[in-house]
Structure 1
Amino acid sequence: MKTLLAIFLLVLSGQLFAQGIEGTWKTIDDETGEAKSLIEVWFDGKKYQGKIIELLDPKEENPICTACEGVQKDQPILGMQIIFDAKKYGSKYKKGEILDPGNGKLYSLVMELENDNELKVRGFIGFALLGRTQVWHRVVDTKTTN
């Protein structure tokens, strides 16, 4: 009985302390393998959202989203929200959307932690067969406070 209780507590503590997707993530382009940007993901009390907080080696200074539609048309990509309204379902975060500022299109979204420091992000149209998957890497703040 004590062994069963110890196993239960160990599993429960792992669940309680497992990291979620909130935080800063470095995006890696699935086609080139290059780091592209830093994305901040947060929980707004109901759903998960995300925005671009840094562009890594941009090809132009202060790029705008000329391909976007609606309110994001011709807006700066830096600071732009790209993850909208994802909800947690078990180990996955889905039923939201992700914007690709490169082509201005919104895609259905599924995200899942591969481990504490890798987030698999899939954007797709219609069925999940038509889309792209990237693995993002958690950015850990190495600054220490005294």
Structure 2
Amino acid sequence: MPNAASWGRWCAAALLSGSAIVALAANDVPTPVGVWQIVDDTGDPKALITVTEKAGEYVGSLTKSLGRHDALERRCTECTDWRKDMKLQGLQIIRGLRRDAQRDEYIGGKILDPDSGHEYDCKMKVVDDGRKLEVRGYFGISWLGRTQTWIREP
């Protein structure tokens, strides 16, 4: 029979091992960090968005146009905030998202439609083993909006 000291060391080692396994499993969950191809309602690719994370906040910026060659040279003339008249190239269109681990999605953010200048509430969910990103823009409550599925770039 093990003594109390060795039993305590064994329990501590088991707890630490279990914590390490849980931490590894949590790190294997796909995140929205990366480059995503925006596909419009007709299925045509429109642009690439780069999503980054800093201090738990996820943001996304336009990085490449897949349609018109001059699209990213345009300016956000309809924007009414700090992005007014900024070039679409590098423009931050997603901001403020935070991970909700209970629902396994990213919530509490905003998404900008640079064509209209309107900003909508936003949430997203990584699906299909990290290959797709469901991005929902909505007005006030989630069912007053629409979802686009973006495709992760290799």
| TM-score bin (small chain) | 0.7 to 0.9
Q: Call closer, same or farther: CA 1:53–1:59 in 2, change over 3 Å.
A: closer
Offset, 1:32 = 2.4
Task: Name the counterpart of 1:132.
Answer: 146
Other structure's SS at 2:27 match: helix
Provide the C-alpha distance between the structure 1 equivalents of 2:144 and 2:43, rounded to a whole number of angstroms. Answer: 20
Provide the C-alpha distance between the structure 2 equivalents of 1:14 and 1:74, rounded to a whole number of angstroms. Answer: 44
Matches within 5 A, 1:73-84: 73-84=84-95
Over the aligned positions, Cα root-mean-square deviation in angstroms equals: 1.9
Offset, 1:108 = 0.5
Report which stretch shifted further, 72-81 or 117-126.
72-81
CA contact (8 A) 2:39 2:46 kept: yes
Counterpart amino acid of residue 57 in structure 1: G
Other structure's SS at 1:106 match: strand
CA contact (8 A) 2:56 2:99 kept: no
Provide the C-alpha distance between the structure 1 equivalents of 2:88 and 2:121, rounded to a whole number of angstroms. Answer: 20
> 5+ unaligned residues in a row in structure 1: which ranges?
1-7, 141-146
Q: TM-score, normalised by structure 1?
A: 0.81
Matched, 1:34 2:44: yes
Provide the C-alpha distance between the structure 2 equivalents of 1:78 and 1:117, rounded to a whole number of angstroms. Answer: 24
Match of 1:121 among 123, 135, 144: 135
- Runs ≥4 in structure 1, deviation > 6 angstroms? none
Task: Name the counterpart of 1:49.
Answer: 59
Task: Name the counterpart of 1:100.
Answer: 113
Aligned residues: 131
Q: TM-score, normalised by structure 2?
A: 0.77
Offset, 1:46 = 2.7
Identity %: 32
Greater helix fraction, Structure 1 or Structure 2: 2
Q: Which has the larger radius of gyration?
A: 2
Provide the C-alpha distance between the structure 1 equivalents of 2:144 and 2:68, rounded to a whole number of angstroms. Answer: 28
Counterpart amino acid of residue 118 in structure 1: K
